[in-house]
Amino acid sequence: MSPIYSPVLLDQFASDSITAGAYTFDTGSGTMTVSAGQIDVSSPTADKRIMSTTPALENVRVTAKHTIGTVPASDPRYAFQVVLKHIDADHELWAMVTAGSGTASQKRLVVGMRFLNTSPAMAAETLLANQNLVTAPVAGTSYWLRAAISGNVVTAEHWLTNPALGGSPDTTLTHTLSTSGSPSNASLVGEGVTGSSGLGWLNGDSRDPFLNFTGAYGAALNTSSHADDFRVEAEIPNPTLLTLDGDYGIGTPPRRTRTRPLDGDYSVLPAEATRILVLIDGELVSRPVQVLVAGVLV
């Protein structure tokens, strides 16, 4: 069964949540501002990233809408990132989409991590996996970058449409964190490790070794670039699904009670179940519901 997620944060930036303290600047303080329901970029070049102050999560899915602004025709370096786990300044796991004016290899979906080298003692960005985008990003167009980690499996997706509305990603990349080595990638950012989530734009120069950009950095990192619809979701461990196969009175206003049989034997629930979820006509019910199983309210 595919992972099922519970929303932790959905920020459409209707108000200035950055100033309000919902995020902390990891780098580039003051270079990202909220205006007209979106994040605007106010500085053209330096890295700029914010981290959510929501609780640190282990298995998480992060989605953000990003719009590529006007870029220099000569060498438009664009790199937008969502952070799955920011553990500290030296350790994190992220996914990124890049766009350049040259070869297809400059237009990529990337999964990477930051870890602390012991010799020399410095934090280093490490490319874990990358794949050319099926559809190259275009300036002035909005896309959605989604990434998730479940255990040690990392998935990154680039969407041409809002994934919340259904459909399929344009490009998908999957990577399993290595459990070999000491310390292993998995032990640093994988199973059992929690971290905060975030988003931001990167200066291509600082990551040239694996972004494969060429030439001098462009004149602007897109002061007309934007981000919106930032969503953080926690994976629900060991869910038990009760599937209802008919009209259960959900409407306006909803009926207070409605009795229908379930399409299975649920007199005994798995001992490891941590939450009961309800599907009605194939859709996960997000509003609070009450379900009786074997005469017991669950």
Q: Do 224 and 121 sit in the same domain of this protein?
A: yes
Query: In which band, very low, low, confident or very high, does the pLDDT at 52 lie, cut at 50, 70 and 90?
Result: very high
Q: How far apart are CA 113 and CA 189, in angstroms?
A: 8
Long-range CB pairs of 76-79 (<8 Å, 24+ gap) are: 76/100, 76/101, 76/139, 76/218, 77/203, 77/204, 77/205, 77/211, 77/213, 77/217, 77/218, 77/221, 78/137, 78/201, 78/204, 78/221, 78/222, 78/225, 79/201, 79/202, 79/203, 79/204, 79/207, 79/211
Q: Do 98 and 200 sit in the same domain of this protein?
A: yes
Which pLDDT tens digit goes with each residue over 227-282?
999 999 999 887 665 554 444 444 444 444 444 444 444 444 444 444 555 555 45
Residue 69 is predicted with a pLDDT of: 77
Q: Do 150 and 257 sit in the same domain of this protein?
A: no
Q: Do 77 and 212 sit in the same domain of this protein?
A: yes
CATH number, residue 144:
2.60.120.560
Query: In which band, very low, low, confident or very high, does the pLDDT at 213 lie, cut at 50, 70 and 90?
Result: very low
Greater model confidence, 238 or 61: 61
Q: Which domain holds residue 264?
A: 238-298
Q: Do 161 and 270 sit in the same domain of this protein?
A: no
| Overall domain count for the chain | 2
Residue 209 is predicted with a pLDDT of: 42
Which pLDDT tens digit goes with each residue over 68-77?
876 545 455 6
Q: Do 226 and 260 sit in the same domain of this protein?
A: no
